[in-house]
Each structure stands twice: as C-alpha cells, then as structure tokens.
Amino acid sequence: MMKSPGYIVISALALLAAGAPRVDYSPGPAVYRVWPPGARQGTSADLTIEGIQLRETERLLFSEPGVTARVTTVDAVANSKAYTTPIVRLRVKLDVAPGVPVGIHGFRLKTPFGTSNWVPFAIGRLDEIEEVEPNDAPGQAQPIALPATVNGALRNPADVDVFRFELSRPVQLVFVIEASNLKSRVDSVLTLSDSDGRRLASNDNFSLDTPDSFLAYDFAQPGNYYIAVQDRAGRGGDQFHYRLTVGELPYVTALFPAGVRRGTVRKVQLQGYNLGGLREVELDGRNGGPDITVLPLRVMTASGPAVNLVRYEVDDYPEVSEREPNDDLERAQPITVPATIEGRIGRPNDRDLYRFPARKDDVIAVEVMARRLGSPLDSFLEILDSAGAPVRRAVVKAVAENSLEGSRNSVSMDLARFAVFKNLEYFPNDYILLNERELIRLEESQRNIDDRSVAQGYLGQRIAFLGTTSQNHPDNAKIHKVRILPPDATPPADGLPSIVLYYRNDDGGPGFGKDSYLLFTAPHDGHYIAALRDLRNGGGESFAYRLTVRRASPDFRLYYDDGFLEDNDGRACGSRNPGVPRGEHAAVTLGAQRIDGFDGKIKVELAQRPAGLRATTGTIRKEEYHCTLDLSAEPDAPEIEGSPLAVVGRARINGREVAHRARDPYESLNVVTVTRPAVIGLDVQPRSLSIRPGGSCQFRIQIERRNGYARDVALALKNLPPGIFVKDRAVAGTRIDAGENNRLVTLVADPTISPVTFQMLVLARIRSEQAAKMRGYASLEESVEYSSGPIAVTVENSAGSSNDSSRSTAGASKR
C-alpha cells in the first residue's frame, strides 16, 4: 500500500503571473535535473532543481514524510537549445529526519497545472561529498576520506572523474555506483589503480540488468590509490550524474535460497563482502500482501546495514532442494505438484531436470524466478515427455504473407507498416508470426497505406504468445497471418509455412524480464519433465533459481499504464499522476497482466474519490489488456493536495470475485490533483453514436483555444474495441492542425465485429516544446492530455456479421 505523501509547503516565492499569460506549449511541469541526487540521514542539504513550467511551484510531494523542504530562490536559466520554453531553477533547503530509511525515495513538484514527473532521490547513511572539478587525471584527483558517498556528474563528453584515497592498513573495500535507479544516463566504468598508475581492477556492468558498476578489492598494502569514473561510450551532460560509495562496507552479492514460503520464517545462506562473519540471514514470509511476490531486504550486519538491497521471493508452495545429479533423463529428480525447487545451474552446459505427474488436460504453470532476484541466469525452460522428447504445443499455419517496413525492437508494440497493403486482409485479434519466431496478436490493424498496426501488450511491451519470446527483428522481416491448430494437425502444403511450436520458453513476457514461464496442458496421463538450463549455456554457483511447478490459478494484476507508442511524442502527465482541470476532464489508463490463462473481463473503478471529483467506471474486455477511465472535476472543486490515486479491478474467476488494486511497478508516488482550467476546451458531438458491422459513423471534435494557444492538438481515441478504427488515420495519428478548431472523424467497423456497447473517450494532447520538435524522444511527462468525457457508442446487430474462422484458436489465449 502506498504511503501518504509528505507535503513540503513552499514559501510565497511562487511567482504568479498577472492575468492569463499566452500559452504556446504544454503547461505541464517537468523536472530535468536535481543536484545533488541524494542526501544523508539526519542532515540538511541545499538542492538545485531545474526543469520547465516550475515557476509557480507550490510544494514538493515526497513519498517519505520525514523529508521537509522550503524554496529559497526561483530563477530563470539560460537555455542553450533553440527553445522558447524557459528553464527554471529552484533552490531548495532540504531537511532529512534521522529515521528516514536508507534507499531511493522520490518526489513530485506540485504546480497549479498538476504534478511533475516522479524524481528519484537517494538517502544514505555516510558523509556526502560533492565532486569538484578539475579532477580528470590522477594528478588532479580529488582527495576523499573514507567511508563516504560522492555525488558526481560527468558534465562533458569524455569527462573522467578521479578520486584519491589513502589507506593505512590492509583492508577490503567496495566501490558502488548508483546511477540507473536515479534515472541517470551514465553507463559507468570504474577503474582502480595504485600510486604508480598500475591498473588493479575495473568493472563495466556489475550485472546483466544494470549499466552500474561495482568493485570489491582486497588491499594488501597501505598507500595512496585512485578510483576513476567514466561513461563507457565517453558521453557526458547534465543528466550524467551518479553516486559513488566507497568504504569498508557490507555488500551482499547473493542469498541462497532466495525465497520463503508465505507465512513462515527461515534462515538462508548469505554471500558478499565485509559481512563480519555473518553467513545467514532470516527471511520473513509474513511480509507483503497477496499481490506482492518479490520483497526487498537490506541485510543488517555488526558494522551496519548493507550498502545494497537484495530481493527474495515469497510464494505459497512447499520448498524442495535440488538434488544432483539430475541433468539427464534417467536421473531426473521426481517432484510432486505443487512445489518450488531451489537450485543452481552449477556449471557451464549444466541442465536440471524435474519429473512430475499429470493427468490428461491438467493445466500446470511452470515459472522460473532467477533474474528478478538478481541471479545471472538467463533461463530456458521446456517440457519433455517421459521419453525425453519435446512436447508439441500447437501447429501454426500461415494463411497470408507480408513483411514489415523497418526493423522492430524486442518490446515495441508499434509494428509500423506492412510492406504490401491489402485492405481487410489483417484484422484486430489476428495472430501474426514475426520472422517465423515470435507469435503476437494484433490490437490494431493497418487500415490504409499510411497507417500502422499495433500488437497487444501492456506496460509498453508487446506480448509473445504460446511460449515464443519477444525479440528484435530486421528490416523487411517476413510476417505471416496464421491459424493456430491442434499439435497433431497436418495442414496441406500450399506454399505457405507450417511451424510446430513446442512447450518451451526463453523470456516470460512483460514483468518477467529474462525469467521463463510456461502454461502446460498435459496431452495425456503420465509423467513429464521440466528441463531448465541457461540460454547461453552458462553456469556457476551464482546461477541460482527458484522453479515453481503448480496447478494453474487464473488471476490478474492491474497497473497504471502509460503504454505510449514510439511515434506518440513521449509520455504525458496522466495515468501515474493525473491532473484534472476544474470543470473539465482528464484520463487514467489501466493495463492488465493476465495470469495462468485468465482471459475474462475486468471491471475497473476508482477505489476512493476525493471531494469534487467524479470518475467513470470501465471494463477491460475479454482477451484485452487496457481500458481508460475518465476523471472530471466540478467547477468549484477544492484544491487536492496530491491525494493518493487508488483504482481497483474486479473479475469473476472460477465462480468468485477477485479484486486487485492498481500498482505502479516503477514509481512510488501516484497522486491525483485538481488543476487550473485546461489550455483548450474540448467537446465532441454527438455524444451518442451507433454503427453497424461494415458501416461507419461520424462525429466532430471541437476545441476552444484559450490563452492564445494556436498550435496543433494531437488526438487519441480510447476504449475502442477491436474492429473499430479511424478512417484515413496516418502513422502520425489524428490531430487538429494549427489554425483549425475542429475535426470531423469517421469511425469504421470491420464486417466481422460483434455487437457491443462501450464508452469512447477522446484525448487531446498539448505537447511540450521538446515533444513537438523532437517527436518520439521526449520521455518525461512534459505534455498534458485532456479528456472529452464519455461518448456512448453502440455497435448494432447485423445479420451478416460473423467472426472470421481463420482467427479461431484452440487454447491460443494461454501464454
């Protein structure tokens, strides 16, 4: 549960402009830079905060109430870029109470136009030292007394920061870079050398999941030593900040086993540096809730808390220890279901086999938890039959062939354009095989030559179905529309490929990282083998895992989901921290993770409604992943001082109601505020629409330009079901151009769409200057979006409507 934010009231230095100033770009506040990026417990610090639209900042909202602040000055900053939006610098006096926990916390700035992007801020327990230039070489090295945390920045390309420290005795020191979780762009490299310039050690990335560096070194001799920080690619700039912690400090590298059964307590093995003889630590399975399966732990030692956090899993299943040898069929370790096996891929080319019983049509979930707990294991999982043969999952038969213009990365939901466009050949909900390797499903399908298709997904990452893995694809990669057939099917040869899919998986999808997941349906009674190895055949003591084999338990999780696409000008203030204009509307988009084959509808609503706010309810439809709620504020709605945002989703699963609160997997401070009136007024007429399969309908979007706003307005339609699309939409989307005040929009229904009634929302985006000039590169929440309020749309029944049989599947919704 999110903590109530700490409110830090700012003095009357907020500079209110006289009258209503002209608006050329988004009024949404955005923080670009905070210096220093951290502070020590029980101390005060002077912060510099820079960004846009911050001049009228009213307060800071911190996730920790033990942090308080006051603004001392507000100034303009010279802008080196050819932008007219001024950058504002705030000077803030920050006070940190002694009891504020060590770690990354965060804040947002509250202004009359909403709250800023979430800004991570570190709280430490050591002396804080600020880097002083010049310190680019050993002869200029900045002396530091240990232990300490250095706040540094690589301000220019090819910048190197060198620090000198003196040792009077043999000692083991750790050197820890903290940058990526502070939203820094640094890809750090640490280099340790002695007074003669000899390189003693270096590190680029400490793990495969972070660009941050770590070193531990045993110093045998007293003397002067140097530690250098640089960017791997020699980059530098305002957003290349870091924190370097150095000292004889405890650091934990691994827990084993890295988990505990829910409701119990156990001791596990501990590995690391400077642990003072500590070899065990207690894991508490009574912490967390049913929605939380991975918990952080800061290990306490005799010399204080560890520098770093480690993670452990809490689950509900009996724990079983791996027994070697179990790397071939004859020696596969027998287990019962359910079970969580705690093991290691102990050496290169090792694999671990586990034999379990199942009856025909049993649905078994098999999940790896490794990389999410800090293990280097990049798991590869497959199901074998009792003879050791891979078990068939399905046959996918191509029914149409095409290719994509442009390469695609491994997460993008945006599929760009088909190289050859034929109208009504590809439909929403169609299954598409990318490059004969990755099976996706269309959420939106290209409907004209300048349009593009979109894959189903959530949290900005597309979903790969039937155990396939999202991956990079080259320019002009082949794509095939496919039918999913039973695993024993033998489709006739017709020149288009047929591919057998087996029960095997590399990466489990959004939220799984490099961990594997399979949903296995037993084809007959018997025993089966879960076979696990490292994808690149690595191995060693650190390649630990927890492998859970359990009966499927359909469920879901709900997330605040910006879910923006590459071509949509970056994120806007919205789903994580909506600002609702007085007398008008804003929106919140939710994304669902569907677990163990659950494909039913999810009803979504605001769990608590602050005074003066109203909200629609919504439904994530069967086999879909998103819905958008409309929030509206009364004209006289009182100011909301960053009220916690609380949304709940409910579904009927196996005859019972299941409810989950929406979470943000990335940020810790989700709030809703009431803001000044919007930059534009937004209206849609008519407010009720009807459409037949194969037909169309029209409505007009009207805007009222205020405060001199004259630029274009980007438009997006939300809650459209598959098969409803905007006629003549281009890749750049739908918009009202500069100099215009309305847009007539035509909705078209595919002939195959089924009857449905839904609430459509029209969102109007006022872009920031950077988003307008650097489309696709503005990643902060600089733009603002306003909502139209709900428009009722009915797809009427039609005797001629039917579903395309080529899209029917046998269990295809099971990932």
For residue 407, pLDDT beyond 70: yes
pLDDT digits (tens, 9 = 90+) for 77-86: 877 666 788 8
572 — pLDDT class (breaks 50, 70, 90): low
For residue 809, pLDDT beyond 50: no
Compute the CA torsion angle 672, 677, 681, 685 (nearest 10 deg). 50
Contact 538, 345 (CB under 8 A): yes
Instruction: Report the chain's C-alpha Rg in angstroms.
Output: 28
For residue 502, pLDDT beyond 90: yes
Least confident of 233-237, 563-567, 787-791: 563-567
For residue 808, pLDDT beyond 80: no
Single-letter residue type at 44: S
Q: How high is the pLDDT of residue 387?
A: 97
For residue 778, pLDDT beyond 60: no
CA distance 149 to 492: 67
Structure tokens at 747: 């909705």
CA distance 807 to 429: 7
pLDDT digits (tens, 9 = 90+) for 24-36: 888 999 999 999 9
Helix (H, G, I), strand (E, B) or coil at 548: strand
Q: Which residue do the tokens 């791996």 mark?
A: 322
Mean pLDDT of 368-385: 98
Per 3-state DSSP, the chain is made up of helix, strand and coil in percentages (nearest 5) of 0, 50, 50
Mean pLDDT of 117-126: 95
Closest CA to 757 of 689, 667, 693, 668: 689
Helix (H, G, I), strand (E, B) or coil at 226: strand
Contact 326, 304 (CB under 8 A): no
Mean pLDDT of 413-441: 87
pLDDT digits (tens, 9 = 90+) for 518-548: 999 999 999 999 999 999 999 999 999 999 9
Q: What are phi and psi of 575, to 5 degrees?
A: -65, -30
Q: How high is the pLDDT of residue 9?
A: 37
Name the pairing type of β-strands 103-111 and 114-115: antiparallel
Domains and CATH numbers, the chain: 6-124 (2.60.40.10), 128-249 (2.60.120.380), 252-315 (no CATH), 319-391+509-552 (2.60.120.380), 392-502 (no CATH), 557-795 (2.60.40.10)
Q: How high is the pLDDT of residue 3?
A: 39
pLDDT digits (tens, 9 = 90+) for 253-287: 999 999 999 999 999 999 999 999 999 999 999 98
Contact 413, 455 (CB under 8 A): yes
CA distance 226 to 216: 14
Q: What is the 3-state secondary structure (H, E, C) of 630-699?
A: EEEECCCCCCCCCEECCEEEEEEECCEEEEEECECCCCCCCEEEEECCCCEEEEEECCEEEECCCCEEEE
Percent of the chain with pLDDT over 70: 92
Give strand pairing partners of 521. Answer: 363
Mean pLDDT of 120-145: 97
CA distance 25 to 782: 10
Contact 632, 585 (CB under 8 A): yes
Mean pLDDT of 580-587: 95
- Output the CA–CA distances (angstroms, integers) from residue 269 to 278, 281, 540, in the order listed: 9, 7, 16
Q: What is the 3-state secondary structure (H, E, C) of 153-205?
A: ECCCCCCEEEEEEEECCCEEEEEEEECHHHCCCCCEEEEEEECCCCEEEEECC
pLDDT digits (tens, 9 = 90+) for 303-353: 999 999 999 999 999 999 999 999 999 999 999 999 999 999 999 999 999
pLDDT digits (tens, 9 = 90+) for 292-313: 899 999 999 999 999 999 999 9
pLDDT digits (tens, 9 = 90+) for 54-84: 999 999 999 899 999 888 899 988 776 667 8
Contact 347, 540 (CB under 8 A): yes
Most confidently modeled of 95-104, 636-645, 799-808?
Answer: 95-104
Contact 589, 664 (CB under 8 A): no
Number of C-beta neighbours around residue 133 at 10 A: 13
Least confident of 165-179, 498-512, 695-709, 725-739: 725-739
Closest CA to 613 of 597, 636, 592, 595: 636
CA distance 551 to 365: 6
For residue 568, pLDDT beyond 60: no
For residue 555, pLDDT beyond 60: yes
Closest CA to 472 of 405, 404, 411, 402: 411
pLDDT digits (tens, 9 = 90+) for 607-630: 988 889 999 999 999 999 999 999
What is the number of residues in the chain?
Answer: 815
Mean pLDDT of 24-53: 94
Q: How high is the pLDDT of residue 61?
A: 93
Q: Which residue do the tokens 């009024």 mark?
A: 27
For residue 498, pLDDT beyond 80: yes
Structure tokens at 103: 């770690």
Q: How high is the pLDDT of residue 81?
A: 67
Cβ neighbours of residue 628 closer than 8 Å, sequence gap 6 or more: 587, 588, 589, 590, 618, 718, 719, 761, 763
Q: How high is the pLDDT of residue 563?
A: 61
Rounded to the nearest integer, the mean pLDDT of the chain is 90
CA angle, 510 then 587 then 567, to 5°: 55
Single-letter residue type at 339: A
Closest CA to 228 of 321, 292, 135, 147: 135
